[in-house]
Amino acid sequence: MSFLSALSQRWQAFLEQQPWLQQGLARVGAPAVAASLVMGGGLTGLWWLGALQQLELGAYDQLVRLRPDEGPDPRFLVVAVTESDIQAQARWPLSDQTIATLIDRLTRLQPRVIGLDIYRDIKHEPGHARLAAQFRANPRLVAVCKREDKQDRGVPPPPSIPRERWAERVGFADLVVDPGGIVRRSLLSGQPQAQGLCQTPFSLGFQAALHYLKADGITPQMLQPQGYLVLGPQIIPPLTQNWGAYHRVDTGGYQIVLNYRSARDSVRQVTLTEALKGTLKPEWVRDKIVLIGVTADSTKDTFYTPYSAGLRENQKMPGVVIHAQTASQLLSAVLNGRPLVWAWPGWAEGLWIWIWGLVGGVIAWRIRHPGALGAALLGGSLVVSGIVYTLFLQGGWLPWVTPVFALVLSGGTVVAFIAYRERQEKEQIAGRVRVQEEQITVLRKMLVETQAAAERTEAAGLAAPAARDGSTLAGRYRVRKVLGEGGFGRTYLAQDVQRPGQPECVVKQLRPARSDPKFLLLARRLFNTEAEILEILGKHKQIPQLLAYFEEDQEFYLVQEYIKGTGLEKELVEGRPQSETYTVALLRGVLEVLAFVHEHKVIHRDLKPANIIRRVTDNRPVLIDFGAVKQMQPQEREEEEAQTIAIGTRGYSPPEQMDGRPQLSSDIYALGMIGIQALTGVPPRQLELDRHTLTPLWHNRAQVRPQLAKILDKMVQYFPSERYQSAQEVIRDLKQL
């Protein structure tokens, strides 16, 4: 604990030296920053450890499915061997004669390259000699082999292709399959093992693209020192182990993320039977890439792709089409400027995740209403999704699920923290309120023991003269002017000379009625208890924040935030009634603050127009001058201008409060009287009371809807049990108007 205490002290000292950081934390909320560091940092760690890889890969698949279909690449034709073709040929594998005939007919139409995605490492008579001759002599023809793996040495290329021509006439058919069986990456090249039967370094799709580009004078180059592949103007960086959502993925060879064009229409397809009939349009073949492969499900040469949402058999894509997608991706990038899939470096992805964790924390810190908070977090998630999707259309692959998790979990963490803190604060205030009531009771008894006149004389004799303009209190608060003065003390407008910019503040001087040690001790306890309560209540935006409290020369001082505005007494002028709309808005504005105060079991005790300030910046009512600390002064007699007594203000305070037994509903009574004053333009003390109910008679002085009159009447009932028992009850009824 000593280490944590020292660390906390150092942190506070650091903040005091960095006012910009202190102000920034105050604006966004320190809990929001802490939650973002914990949740955002934790999720970033899980991201880097690969714990969220499968979720992000699933999100990538969803992005692929959401992206608009780009349609077929016109540079390709796939001759597909379907189940119907196999039935028509009455055999599988196809004979060499059938394949040789097909290649002959395609060659006559002058394609740039023909890729045969069917193994021909052994004879399949009849027609082997004819096919072997084509493999030897046709420079457009690219055959396939299979790379070695842990189970076997692979499948060799057709033996009739000279070994020295394998690098340009043979491509491997192997595809890279992610965990879960989905093909998201493309292996362009790889160093073959010495013992393997497939010794070509390039894949079928890559070979097809190289043959096509060679006719345009584009050959592969290597960018040094990075070792990146360069095709024409396009640099093609390889996939790394921790690229995008991947974590420690096997990136052997030269891999890229496969940028699919379409689920079913990426290339034009014709069947083997159609091609053998010789009915192909020449423009489908001439100067094109033609790939021959099997699409029949029975051959098991089909794979799951990002389009396979349900991983069902009918959602698989034939291997020959995937090879075509690879070649199309390369050609589109080099010749058409279609973006390759790119990702941010790891530090940028971590920052992206943390930022959204911070956003979620700030949202939860600023928005407390559950419905509004849920809508804001949903909106934030949609913004993340919109940014991710927009950049994905440009080839960018950003973390999607993880920042949404960070947003929601940080928000949830802040909500949990707020709930915990509010529960703790309510428990603390409840204890302090109990102590406060005990202290007030004892103080009253002590005041009763001494005659009021003598006490006031003593208090007046003890009171220090008013601080002059320019003088300093506690060596820190420079007095600018006196804002008010009463039996309880004075209120000054001052400047805090020890804070940056010397901001304005309000300093309230509270004078105890007696100076004997016993009374001062109780008064000091009451003052400290009230200050602790105000410090918590001041966190509400419509209650002045308590900045400091101190004792000087047996007088007590509260330092609070200065609220720029005008008191409500300037609006509620005698003889000038306000509208019903104004009154309802006023009631609701004050009730929202009272609801917060009453949740903490605190009674304002002196609710009147002079203690409600209309703030200039947002026109909201702000509650000031909570009345408990005034109990250290005895009750004053009524005067013409100031009607304040130790426990409230005549006309606004209900009978039980005048008897020293205030309840939460006492504040509701006072606010009801303010509402009646607004509608009638008559101060409460001038209203007559009904002889039977002891409630004010005011209906004949205002034109008001019966529903609102009923609400106000219930607020000002004589007996507390007949009033509204909470501010929320009044708000609920006002909403129905």
Q: How many CB atoms lie within 10 A of CB 497?
A: 12
All residues at 6 or more sequence positions from 635 whose CB lies less than 8 Å from its CB, including other chains: 452, 645, 646, 647
Contact indicator for 400, 384 with CB cutoff of 8 Å: yes
* Residue type for position 217: G
* 545, two tokens: 């924040």
Active site residue 606: yes
Nearest to 715 by CA among 663, 685, 670: 670
1, two tokens: 């604990």
Q: Is there a contact between 292 and 102 (Cβ–Cβ < 8 Å)?
A: yes
d(CA 62, CA 401) in angstroms, rounded, equals 11
Dist CA 229 CA 235 (whole Å): 6
- Cα separation, 583 vs 152, in Å, equals 87
Cis preceding linkage at 684, omega within 30: no
DSSP 677-694: HHHH---GGGS-B-TTT-
DSSP classification of residue 429: H
Cα 488 versus chain centre, distance:
48
With CA atoms as reference, report the closest residue to 670 among 732, 621, 731, 712. 712
CB contact at 8 A, 331 and 234 = no
Q: Where are the alpha helices (DSSP H) in 190-243?
A: 204-214
Give residues with Cβ within 8 angstroms of 412, minimum separation 6.
364
Cβ–Cβ contacts within 10 Å for residue 737, how many?
12
Q: Whole-angstrom Cα distance, residue 398 to residue 580? A: 54
Show the tokens assigned to 435. Answer: 């102590």
Number of Cβ within 10 Å of residue 69's Cβ equals 12
Using left for φ > 0, alpha for ψ between -120 and 50, and beta otherwise, residue 253 falls in left
What single string gives the DSSP state of each residue in 70-131? ----TTEEEEEE-HHHHHHHT-SSPPHHHHHHHHHHHHHT--SEEEE-S--SS--SSSHHHH
DSSP 8-state class, residue 515: -
Residue 484, beta-bridge partner list:
491
Choose, from 73, 174, 606, 667, the residue flagged as catalytic. 606
For the CA atoms of 719, 720, 723, 729, the dihedral, rounded to the nearest 10 degrees, stands at: -170
β-bridge mates for residue 155, sequence order? 146
Helices (H), 225-345: 272-276, 282-285, 319-336
Contact 616, 565 (CB under 8 A): yes
Structure tokens given for 444: 């009253």
Burial 225-247 (b: 16+ CB within 10 A, else e): eeeebebeebebbbbeebbbbbb
* 616 Cβ contact list (under 8 Å, min separation 6): 564, 565
Write the CA distances from 373 to 362, 368, 376, 382, 409, integer angstroms.
11, 6, 5, 14, 13
Residue 179 tokens read as 């965990």
Task: Name the β-bridge partners of 221.
Answer: 230
Query: Residue 35: CB partners within 8 Å, gap ≥ 6?
Result: 357, 360, 361, 364, 410, 411, 413, 414, 417
Positions annotated as catalytic residues are 606
